[in-house]
Amino acid sequence: MMYDIRHVTTYRYTASVTLCQNIAHLSPRNSPRQTVLKRDLWVRPDPVILDVHTDFFGNTAHFFSVQEPHRELTVAATHRVELRGSEPPPLASTMAWEDAAEYLRRTKTPEALDAFQYAFDTNLTARRPQWLEYAAPSFTPGRPIGEACRDLMGRIYSEFVYDPRATTVSTPLLDMFAAKRGVCQDFAHLMLATLRSLGLAARYVSGYLETAPPPGKARLVGADASHAWLQVYFPEQGWFDFDPTNNAVASERLLLLAWGRDYDDVSPLKGVILGGGTHTVDVAVDVIAATGNGGDLDFEV
C-alpha cells in the first residue's frame, strides 16, 4: 500500500518576527516495512538557510533560518511512502523479561549496544518508584517480554482516557499519571518510562496514523493526525511497535516518521524566534491511500 502524506504547520504572530531558526523532523525514514518514495519540505517566507542532515538517531532533519520580518510562518511537508505488511511478533516465544534486561547489560554486539542506549531514562521519562510499582502486575517473574509488554500496553489503554485538552507538551508525566488523562505522546512516554525502569530498551516513535471518518460522514481534509507510539527491543528478534493509544501491536496503519529517546529528540518543529509577541498555531495532516504509480502526489499544498 502506498500513502501520500501532507503535514502543514502555520504560525501566526501578533508582532513581527525578525529572525526564526528551527529544526524540523518532518521527513519519513526508511525501515524494514516502509520505503520512502518521495519527500519534500518547503518553508514560507523563503529561508536564507535550508540544510538537510541526518541526526544522531539516523532521522532526516532540516535546519532552516528565516531572516526577513514576518507575521506568518508556514512549514509544509509532503511525502509518499510504501508500506509492506508485517507479521506480529511471537509474543509468547520471546525470552523472559529479566533475561532481556540482563542481555542488554552483558551483550556487546553492535545491535545490542545500539539498543542499550534506549534503556536509560531521559528528562521526560525519568525513573521513579511509581513506574516500577505500575509495572509489577504485567512484569511477573519469568514472563516473556512480549506478553508483558502487551499486557502493560492494554492496561494503559484501558486505564487512561484520551483527552487532548488534559495535557500539553510540557505537562510532567507524573501529573498525567495522576489525572489518568492525556494523549498519544503521554501514553508512549509512560510506557517508555515503565520499561526503562525495568532495564529494558524502548524508543519513542513519531509518525502518522490513517484515520477513518465516522460512519456515513465524509472524510475531512486535514483531519488525520500526527501520532506517537514506541518500539520495544526483543533481544535476537529486533524492534516491534506497540501503540498504547490504540492497544495495537505492529499495526499496519502506522507510518513511521522518526525515532529517538523521547519527544524532545524528534519534535516536528523546534527552534527560537526574535520578536513575534503572542502566537497561534494551526496544524493540518492528511494521510491518503495513493492511487498513482509514483506520479504527482494526490493533493496540493
What is the mean pLDDT of the segment spanning 112-133?
95
Q: Is residue 171, in this structure, part of any structural domain at all?
A: yes
Are the C-beta atoms of 253 and 224 separated by less than 8 Å?
A: no
pLDDT over 70 at 294, yes or no? no
Task: Convert the pLDDT of each residue in 264-279 to its tens digit.
Answer: 999 999 999 999 999 9
Counting residues of the chain whose pLDDT is more than 70, the rounded percentage is 92
Alpha helices in 107-183 (DSSP H): 110-116, 129-135, 145-159, 173-179
The pLDDT, as a whole number, for residue 84 is: 85
Q: Is the same domain home to 97 and 211?
A: yes
Q: Is the same domain home to 122 and 36?
A: no
The pLDDT, as a whole number, for residue 48 is: 97
pLDDT over 90 at 116, yes or no? yes
User: Where residue 290 falls among pLDDT bands split at 50, 70, 90?
Assistant: confident
For residue 137, the SS3 value is: coil
Q: Is the same domain home to 236 and 271?
A: no
Task: Convert the pLDDT of each residue in 76-102 to its tens digit.
Answer: 999 999 998 777 778 999 999 999 999
What is the mean pLDDT of the segment spanning 14-21?
97
Q: Is residue 195, in this structure, part of any structural domain at all?
A: yes
Q: Is the same domain home to 74 and 96?
A: no
The pLDDT, as a whole number, for residue 82 is: 94
The pLDDT, as a whole number, for residue 85 is: 75
Q: Is residue 300, in this structure, part of any structural domain at all?
A: no
Q: Which residues constitute the domain of residue 41?
A: 2-84+266-289
Task: Give residues with Cβ within 8 angstroms of 258, minimum separation 6.
Answer: 25, 27, 29, 57, 59, 60, 205, 206, 207, 265, 266
d(CA 301, CA 284): 10
pLDDT over 50 at 221, yes or no? no
pLDDT over 80 at 223, yes or no? no
What is the mean pLDDT of the segment spanning 103-115?
96
Q: Is the same domain home to 27 and 156?
A: no
Task: Convert the pLDDT of each residue in 164-217 to its tens digit.
Answer: 999 988 899 999 999 999 999 999 999 999 999 999 999 999 999 877 666 666
Q: Is residue 298, in this structure, part of any structural domain at all?
A: no
Q: Is residue 299, in this structure, part of any structural domain at all?
A: no
The pLDDT, as a whole number, for residue 113 is: 96
Q: Is the same domain home to 231 and 108?
A: yes
Could you give the angle at the alpha carbon of 227 between the alpha carbons of 264 and 292, nearest 5°? 125
pLDDT over 60 at 49, yes or no? yes
3-state helix, strand, coil in the chain (%, to 5): 25, 40, 35
The pLDDT, as a whole number, for residue 15 is: 97
The pLDDT, as a whole number, for residue 214 is: 61
DSSP E strands in 67-125: the ranges are: 70-83
